[in-house]
Chain A
Amino acid sequence: MQLTKSLGISRKEGATGARNRSRNRSRRGLRARRWAGWLFALPALAFYGVFNFRPVLLSIQYSFYDWDGVGASTWVGMKNYVEVFTDSEQFSSLLHAFYLILFFTVLPVTLALITASVLRQLQGRFTGALARTLLFLPQIIPGAAAGVAWTWMYSDNGVVNQLLRAIGLDSLARPWLADFTWALTAVGFIGTWLSAGLCTMLLLAGIGKIDASLYEAARIDGAGPIRQFWSVTLPGLRAEIGVCVTITIIAALASFDVVYLATQGGPGTQTMVPGVAVYTLAFNDNRLGAASALAVVLALIVIAIVAPLQRLFREK
């Protein structure tokens, strides 16, 4: 009733005056109408609640229990969390995830910064359509397929060893993903391959938006290319760097498909990452509580790193 009335008023009367008056007269009607707006949001709320939010809460609940998924579950308090930090396999998986940030984030962002600042000197925007297509390819293919591609690259007679032998470094050639010392680093470079192209394109797009007069002013002040980089390029790319760093850190910490297909965590547990460890604990060992505790710790680490980054890189 209220709803039709307020509509009727605003239809009869002129535009602006009626807006205020109808607001005052039928505040209750307006409120009812705004609640009715939830009809639009309900389907999203339902899917999100059932298949996203509820599982997150349940994971937290499971993490305090011993449960094999079939029998009864027993409350064990913090035991599973203690295990995350004392069990060498689980704890080292977390350390590995941090090590991977070097390759998923630090290296690609550095490379992208160098490429973008060198290309800026080309004057005029970079329009190499072919290069752009190729740079994006690693982002387009499934991570699982990247795992297969690089298993082949790193294999005994793959491209990496082929190159080493071609330049006379035969002694260095080895099956990289099976090498206890080098496997994790080798996995890391797959991550570099995955994120370098996207970061380069993002920073190139960003550097094109920096006002050219800023560089001009810096040059007049006698700043060389290095100084220009630190005082103009870097601050100008703040937001874009923030984006690259955030998404690649999440990719490093939560990596699963690449590692699962390339090494499954091996040799030994040299390339065990939290994602693979959660999967193994839950679906091979049937230890749902322990798996959930590790997943919760992983999620907390992601939040603890991403939240301050958002603040740090937000544009002033």
Chain B
Amino acid sequence: MPAPTQTLRRRAPGLVLIAAAALYSVVPLLSMVSAALAPQGSFPSGLSWPSDPQWHNFADAWNVANITTLLKSSTLIVLGVVPVAVLISTMAAYAIAVLEIPLGRLFYTVLVLTLTLPYEIVIVPLYEQVKAMGLLGTQWALILPLIGMNMPFAVFWMRAHFANVPRELSEAASMDGAGPWRALRHIHLPLARPAIASLALLMFLSTWNQFLLALVLIDDPDKRTMAGALQAFTTKYSTDQVLLNAGALLIMAPTILVFLFLQRHFVKALLQGSVKG
């Protein structure tokens, strides 16, 4: 058993490193907070606690950045995308992995091949397509394409889950005379709950933070995701560092809050998500 001081000495380099890394991650955000609390119209500097913190700046930014409207719009888009995408990707992965539908492998291969494609390659035709459908500028312009864009990862994710479910389970179900629907609902879905929860969290994050599609497909910033609206806000207030930082902080607050509440799940989902992806 080493003496406590010895342990500490051995641990010190590692602890210093991790502390430095953590500090590096948080300094930009702290610097934004310090600027957001400076008096409006002043020129704050980097990182300094203002002598007289102006908390009402956040209230002002809330109003000028239309945060209430943006929260509603982002929530609407997330609610339009995530449940549908989770449901139909789970069904498709079930069909491919458990029901072993003919040509299912081919479908899966095509999905995986397009998994790593950058959004840049769809953005121009998507714009034309959504315009032709008469949806440009509405939230549908974002909801429908995002469901489609989420399919490769979501099916990939759920198939990885179903592929690990013992075969005997589904065979036993069909022996009992359960049709594919009942087997999915009563046997597979309860088992898939953790995988589905992680997938939903990851999709919430990517939808809420979606920028490029929101910027292109919806002209009115108030109908975009919060991330997409940030662009309009920065153009408008680019010279007002105080209000700009307060508004940007408000815009990132929801994901940070959700993250803090569901931290354990998020960390698990992000680590798994990157390993699977």
Contacts and interface: CB of A to CB of B under 8 A. Distances in A.
Interface of A: 7, 10-11, 15, 18-19, 31, 34-41, 43-45, 47-56, 58-59, 62, 69, 111, 114-115, 118-119, 121-122, 126, 128, 130-146, 148-150, 152-153, 155, 157-163, 193, 196-198, 200-202, 205, 239-240, 243-244, 246-247, 250, 253-254, 256-257, 260-261, 274-275, 278-279, 282-283, 288, 291-292, 294-296, 298-299, 302-303, 306
A140 B18 contact: no
B21 A298 contact: no
Contacts of B218: none
Nearest to B133: A50
Contact of B46 (A19, A34, A157, A291): A157
Contacts of B228: 144
Shortest 3 CB-CB contacts between residues of A and residues of B: A51-B148, A254-B118, A142-B227
Interface of B: 10-11, 13-15, 17-19, 21-29, 31-32, 35, 43-47, 85, 88-89, 91-92, 94-96, 99-102, 104, 107, 110-111, 114, 116-129, 144-145, 147-149, 151-152, 155, 171, 174-177, 180, 184, 205, 208-209, 211-212, 215-216, 226-228, 230-231, 234, 241, 244-245, 248, 251-252, 255-256, 259-260, 263, 266-267, 270-271, 274-275, 277
B56 to A, nearest CB: 20
A205 B271 contact: yes
Contacts of A138: 25
A159 B22 contact: no
A288 B124 contact: yes
18 contacts: A19-B171, A34-B102, A36-B180, A41-B91, A50-B129, A118-B17, A126-B18, A132-B267, A135-B21, A144-B209, A145-B230, A152-B32, A239-B275, A256-B120, A257-B227, A282-B124, A295-B120, A302-B116
A40 B91 contact: yes
A40 B230 contact: no
B244 A148 contact: yes
B205 A140 contact: yes
A41 B107 contact: yes
Contacts of B101: 34-35, 37-38, 40-41
Given A118-B13, A274-B120, A153 B31 contact: yes
Contacts of A38: 95, 101
A141 B256 CA distance: 7
A23 B82 CA distance: 39
For the complex, would chain A's binding face be called helix, strand, loop or mixed by DSSP majority?
A: helix
Contact of B255 (A142, A298, A303): A142
Which of B110, B155, B175 has the most chain A CB atoms inside 10 A of its CB?
B175
A200 B121 contact: no
A15 B175 contact: yes
Contacts of B117: 56, 299, 302-303
A121 B122 contact: no
A144 B230 contact: yes
B124 A157 contact: no
Nearest to A18: B175
A139 B215 CA distance: 20
